[in-house]
Structure 1
Amino acid sequence: MVWEYKGKKLEVVQGDIASQQDIDAVVNAANARLETGGGVAGALHRAAGPELAEAGRKYAPLAPGEAVITPAFKLPNNKVIHCLGPVYGQDTPEDELLKSCYEKTLHLGEKEKQKSIAFPAISTGAFGYPFDKALDLAVDTVIEVLPDLAHVDFVRFVLFSSKEADAYRKALEKKLV
């Protein structure tokens, strides 16, 4: 299902962030060194090729809440926006840093005139951010920022499991209807 909100579109899918053929920019839940890792970072780096890590080196180390943009190389997208989410219980204030990830990612996409952006659930894997708390913050921030952007008009949340995707769908349904 695609939701329309103030002239913008939002969608939730279960799938692989590295296989979003129809999206201009995909978001990497990056590590500080912008290198291959596990989860989202591993999937994107494997699909993009070694050039992705090479392109990120000039930005490393990334601070929590920061975002940078690189070409997508062998991915089917134009750009990869790398964001370092906070490690829960370690990087504080967690909520502000995670919100900053979503805000800065959207603004980078706007600056680079990307029409569509796909987000994973940033910081909820190895970084230990409670899923429900991160979900609310992600959805609220995107809903807040997206209407003010001229170029970005479509956001897709790409979740690994059907349970996570269902939770995002329910959150959007609740907030947008």
Structure 2
Amino acid sequence: MKSKKEKIVDTAIKLFAEQGFHNTSISKVAEVAGVSKGLMYNYFESKDELFKHIFDLGAEKLTENFDPNRDGVLTKEELIYYLHDIFYKMQKDREYWILFFTVVMQPGIREIVLDRTHEIIAHMMEELTAYFTEKGCEEPEAQTRYFISVMDGVGMHYLLDPEGFPIKKVVQKIIKEFV
């Protein structure tokens, strides 16, 4: 059984995605989640704080198996593991990822988590750039941006058409090209 906090978070993700962040009030989240507005404020001091929490949950899922031993060095094996892991997570919890990306892309929302986004992206980009440098890429920063763009595109297309998208074959192509 889900805790009250988990129910609030799940409800907020759904409402933010369906109605937009700015059109969803804390009162509406509380009502749909079946909790009092006061209880909402026990967990989250504002709607922005609730969104930051939702973003952090997604960021944790996105990064938890990137450089899993946390030694600051991304190896070939770790990158392959990460590629399989992240798309497995999207497959396993497709609805969450669709809702999460829908909410993050709404105008005015990104600013709420901009600092956190830069922190997460900077860490991943730093390790990826070092990885591509070690591989001997002429332009490792450009290769890093290209890799991230490919991952974003594949993730979005997979989420839009999970039955028709050949995710296993595409992951193998990514591995062949980047690893």
**Structure index of larger Rg:** 2
Output the TM-score relative to the length of structure 1. 0.31
Whose helix fraction is larger, Structure 1's or Structure 2's?
A: 2
